[in-house]
């Protein structure tokens, strides 16, 4: 691991781990949930709000920040931490998923992903080296490799081909990352033999002086991503290929894309135990509170999902007794708090009647107050998960979350 990145397991309960991840911008207690700040902001929240609800690490999105305002501009202003005012740990994704899902006229080749910007139609090429350079400029504490995102379901041969390509891209990302780490902000030179043997376009490995990547955060760590769809053999193949390259830690990608929950749990249960016990394991894009505790019980440590923030803006709230739809007429004159068991600012200060009024009136404050509550609910749930692992009671917590979040909406 890098000098600034480390992980240690403090307690276990079955396969579940209570740990601490150290990054260049501080420690994260795991299992941890990472609120998603797509464009350099968690929608509706200031960094002060994020601290108050208990966030320790947030996500940024490489695709969006690269296209606007630009990785060069952010690097020039001191990097993502200074630019956003969030001084805690930050993880950025590689941008592949958004280039894949948002980019128009997208073409995937061995070189990378060629697409037109969803903002202005301009043409871009996102390569493994490019995704690594952009993240070097943005300066998060954790950068992700560029992987190929596959629409599911796909034929077995296609999943295999994609898994193999993701492994080749992971190698190119790591080579680039190590070259940047070695040379830092200085001259970037790569061994020509390495470049030729590993990359299909050696010239893309050696940027011209004017485009030489600036390394904003020398303590950055890089995570590899395990792919392989829902095919256990391909997941194992991807684990072998990715571990052979060697990263600070590993993520499980390509899940939470519409597959049934039991399939997702089974792929996680198959994959997580094959990852090194002394590194954090990150399940990308997951999920509901129940999904999270199910994955924790299979050995996962890190999560991110837009669900608490997006649902908050849609008036869908997570509470200690299940889900709640704030626009329902029955809350029109309800003077009680959103969730009597929640200590967040929203629940301490406002009534359901007021929150419903803000929501049906389209007030900006509805999104702010609902997001404060939903994130606090998620982050408090993670604190309960960590405590349950220490006390050996995770299964009891899992059962109570299952009872609460697998039933239909209580008030719809
Ligand atoms: Zn609350």
What is the reported pLDDT for 183?
74
What is the reported pLDDT for 407?
53
Distance 86 CA to ligand 1 centre (A): 22
CA distance 329 to 331: 5
**262-274: pLDDT as tens digits:** 999 999 999 999 9
Give Cα separations from 24 to 60, 141, 222 (angstroms): 16, 6, 12
The CA-CA-CA angle for residues 88, 288, 17, to 5°, reads 60
The CA-CA-CA angle for residues 121, 123, 128, to 5°, reads 130
C-alpha neighbours within 13 Å on the C-beta side of residue 204:
20
Looking at every residue in the chain, the average pLDDT score rounds to 92
What is the reported pLDDT for 184?
65
Distance 26 CA to ligand 1 centre (A): 26
Distance 258 CA to ligand 1 centre (A): 29
Residue for token pair 């903002």? 119
Distance 251 CA to ligand 1 centre (A): 30
What is the reported pLDDT for 202?
44
Distance 343 CA to ligand 1 centre (A): 6
CA distance 409 to 340: 18
Neighbours of 233 (CB within 10 A): 12
Distance 203 CA to ligand 1 centre (A): 53
The residues placing their C-beta within 5 Å of ligand 1, an ion, are 342, 344, 346-347, 373
Distance 317 CA to ligand 1 centre (A): 9
DSSP H helices in 27-70: 47-53, 62-67
CA distance 60 to 90: 7
What is the reported pLDDT for 192?
38
| Residues assigned a catalytic role | 93, 304
What is the reported pLDDT for 210?
54
Phi/psi zone of residue 142: left (φ > 0), alpha (ψ -120 to 50 degrees), beta? beta
Find out whether 70 and 119 touch, Cβ atoms under 8 Å.
Answer: no
What is the reported pLDDT for 196?
37
**105-114: pLDDT as tens digits:** 889 999 999 9
User: Among residues 361, 287, 344, which one has the least CA distance to residue 45?
Assistant: 344
Report residues of the chain scoring pLDDT below 50. 186-206, 409-410, 412
């Amino acid at each position: 691991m890098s000098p600034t990145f480390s992980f240690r397991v403090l307690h276990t309960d079955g396969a579940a781990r209570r740990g601490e991840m150290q990054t260049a911008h501080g420690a994260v207690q795991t299992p941890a949930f990472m609120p998603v700040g797509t464009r350099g902001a968690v929608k509706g929240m200031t960094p002060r709000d994020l601290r108050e609800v208990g966030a320790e690490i947030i996500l940024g999105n490489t695709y969006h920040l690269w296209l606007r305002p630009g990785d060069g501009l952010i690097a020039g202003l001191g990097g993502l931490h200074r630019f956003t005012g969030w001084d805690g740990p930050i993880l950025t994704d590689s941008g592949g998923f958004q280039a894949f899902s948002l980019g128009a006229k997208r073409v995937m080749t061995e070189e990378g992903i060629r697409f037109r910007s969803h903002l202005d139609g301009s043409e871009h090429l996102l390569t493994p080296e490019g995704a690594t350079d952009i993240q070097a400029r943005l300066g998060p504490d954790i950068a992700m490799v560029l992987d190929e995102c596959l629409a599911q379901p796909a034929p077995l041969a296609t999943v295999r081909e994609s898994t193999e390509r993701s492994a080749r891209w992971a190698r190119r990302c790591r080579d680039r990352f190590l070259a940047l780490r070695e040379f830092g902000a200085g001259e970037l030179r790569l061994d020509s033999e390495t470049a030729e043997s590993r990359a299909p376009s050696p010239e893309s490995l050696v940027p011209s002086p004017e485009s030489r990547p600036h390394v904003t955060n020398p303590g950055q760590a890089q995570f590899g991503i395990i792919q392989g769809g829902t095919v256990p053999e391909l997941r194992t193949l991807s684990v072998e290929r990715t571990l052979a390259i060697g990263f600070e830690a590993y993520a499980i990608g390509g899940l939470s894309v519409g597959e049934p929950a039991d399939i997702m749990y089974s792929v996680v249960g198959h994959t997580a135990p094959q990852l090194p016990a002394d590194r954090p394991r990150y399940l990308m894009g997951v999920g509901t509170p129940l999904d999270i505790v199910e994955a924790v019980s299979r050995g996962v440590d890190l999560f991110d999902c837009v669900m608490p923030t997006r649902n908050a803006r849609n008036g869908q709230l997570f509470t200690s007794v299940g889900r709640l739809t704030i626009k329902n007429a029955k809350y029109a004159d309800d003077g009680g708090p959103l969730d009597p068991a929640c200590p967040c600012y929203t629940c301490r200060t406002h009534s359901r009647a007021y929150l419903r009024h803000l929501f049906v009136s389209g007030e900006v404050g509805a999104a702010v107050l609902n997001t404060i509550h939903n994130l606090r609910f998620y982050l408090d749930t993670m604190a309960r998960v960590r405590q349950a692992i220490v006390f050996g009671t995770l299964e009891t917590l899992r059962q109570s979350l299952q009872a609460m979040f697998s039933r239909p909406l209580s008030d719809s």
